[in-house]
Amino acid sequence: MPSAPRFLRLDDLLLPPALSAAAAIALLFGLFELGLGLSRRLRGREWEPLDGAAGLILVTGLVGALVHGAACAELASLPWLRALAAGVGLFGAASLVRLPARSRDLRAAAERWWQGTNGWERLLVALLALIVLSLALAALGPATDADSLDYHLGVPLDWLRHGGAYPRPDWFHARLVGDGEGLDLLGLAAGSDCFGAVLQLAGLAVAAVTACSLHANARARLLAALLVLATPLILSLVPAQKPMLLPAAATLLSLALLARRRERLDRTTILFALAGAAFAAGCKYSFLMSGALVLATTLWLAARERRFAAASAILLLLLFTLPIYLRNYLFYGDPLSPFLERLRPHPDPALLLFASYLRDYGGVRSLTQLVSLPWTFSFFRPPTGALGIGFLAALGAPWRDRRFWPLLVPGAALFFILAGTAQLTPRFFLEPYLWIASALPASRWRPFAVLSPLLGLQASLVAGGALYVMAQSVAGLPSRAARERLLDRVAPGATEARWLDESLQPSDVVIAPTRSRLLLPRPFLVTDEIEDTGSAREEEERLSALVRRTGATVLVMPDPVGPEVPTALREAAARAEPIGQPRSFETAVRTPLIPIERFSLRLYRLAPTPQRAGD
């Protein structure tokens, strides 16, 4: 009898840490080189650096959509993806070779600027350079945040094991992946788990360059750079594989191109603007609203080329966006799963609760909370979860300056839409912040005289945080052993996964109470659909069906089993045979602000469940 195929683990794919980082850099520069060449060909003599950024967004969106489409067609084989990654990486190597020559003009311009500035401005630039350099190194470290270890990387790895996408009704977060996770899938095939973070770093750079390009005055450009690069939120976004910064930068770039060229809007600019909107909408549900606003703004401004704009929008949406929502409709019967679940004749209570959790994660809305959003997002969040004082200063944006209306009007509209529909957390308001903050340096509001010193203070705090994040991440780069030590300290579920690998049989299928599915060493099932159904009997029936369908053999439970565990799992543990003794662990934390706690886990061997007809 042939043996079962070996379970593909993350460590089976990853290169040694330093080479993993080099692979991510090569992929990024490959996308940049392809985008640069495409933008030069499309723009011709009118090309400018901002077009290079737009080319990067367009090519990145095309590659992400290609990989996601291949996964949906069950064509995401490891050899094919490695061939694609190698091709992109070769372009990246060529780009890195040309980098010194290309940076000469930039170095000369920087030297001229440095000679014409005062000490305060030089200090601010030094702080910004420190932030960017520190976050660049932090992005090269291994993935350690909870969402990346769950579905941003966990779902792509699961698809890679099966040669493509397939329904996971037990894993609710699997419904949320898009083109951004397609890019993460390409990174995994190339042997890197940090490619997504490198892309977020690129998004930060694109956002800063775009904001600066809207202003001719050197001091205004410095203020624009501060408003982007000194935002505390970037400390948590850049080192993660979460597709947030690059899509947000894409929509900012789209509106900035429209604002800069509204009097001479050509077809290439329209294409670039629409590509940014379509790419963002294909990455995450929350970008559907901002993408729609960018699309509407483009169609409004492209009066002379409205037919071309409409045709381009349809094509790009078909390429970048539609496949994600068609996949969810075919897999789960809901293109926006779980958000349309309540419209079904018999909605699933577990999915309804999941939708409420996603929508209300930042707290249930109240009038007081909504009115205080500018204040709370500016100051009263943890340092890595705040947008900073620029969010409060946005109230003084140059609303009367018609040049910035393509940024300010959609930005204000998006803020109010998000306030009524999205999570009330700072990262979901990053786009309206970037759109409006990019116009702020043009404001002549008198209180802005104190904005630069306040942003300088904020930049110094962000620089300190960036140094801490960098030191933490680079500790995992020297070797595989160093990477494992780092994961044990800061990655939730890493130590528990190693214990499971030592304790389980090769043929086991595990039910584990962890979100770090990326690190699990055996096939697993997720119990999302049995939690909070409101009926203990229904939970029991769902768990039995899951166990029969997946062949689960081992249950991992906290010891002692507390009331927070679903009733069906508690009863399953009571019926099962304990394996060995409980094992004690410490919580992994990424910041010293979070106290370390101890907890225990225990393994249980599940009795074989007879297969029923119809399962």
pLDDT band of residue 380 (cuts 50, 70, 90) is low
pTM of the entire structure?
A: 0.93
Side-chain half-sphere of 32: how many Cα atoms within 13 Å? 22
pLDDT of residue 158: 95
**pLDDT tens, position by position, 315-325:** 999 999 999 99
- What percentage of the chain carries pLDDT values higher than 70? 95
Does 116 have pLDDT greater than 80? no
Per-residue pLDDT, 149: 95
180: left (phi over 0), alpha (psi -120 to 50) or beta: alpha
Find, among 490, 596, 521, 495, the residue nearest to 142 by Cα: 490
The mean pLDDT of 391-418, rounded to a whole number, is 89
Enclosing H/E stretch for 511 = strand 510-511
Instruction: Flag the least confident range among 93-97, 379-383, 501-505, 552-556.
Output: 379-383
Considering only residues 45 and 106, tell me which one the structure prediction assigns the higher pLDDT. 45
Task: Decide if pLDDT at 109 tops 90.
Answer: no
**Three-state DSSP string of 241-256:** CCCCHHHHHHHHHHHH
What is the pLDDT, as a whole number, of residue 362? 67
pLDDT value for 82: 96
For 63, 104, 127, 274, the CA distances from 32, given in Å and listed in that order, are 12, 18, 26, 19
Q: Across residues 19-30, what is the average pLDDT? A: 96
Q: Are 412 and 432 a contacting pair, CB within 8 Å? A: yes
Percent of the chain scoring above 90 in pLDDT: 64
Average pLDDT of the residues in 414-423: 89
The pLDDT of residue 11 is 93
CA 207, CA 224: separation in Å to the nearest integer?
10
- Does residue 62 have a pLDDT over 80? yes
Give pLDDT, residue 248.
97
Question: Contact, 484 vs 497, CB < 8 A?
Answer: no
Mean pLDDT: which of 52-66, 100-114, 355-369 is highest? Answer: 52-66
Per-residue pLDDT tens for 535-568?
778 888 888 888 888 889 999 999 888 887 888 8
pLDDT of 3 reads: 46
Q: What is the mean pLDDT of residues 387-394?
A: 84
Band (pLDDT 50/70/90 cuts) for residue 2 is: very low
Residue 579 bridge partners (DSSP): 603
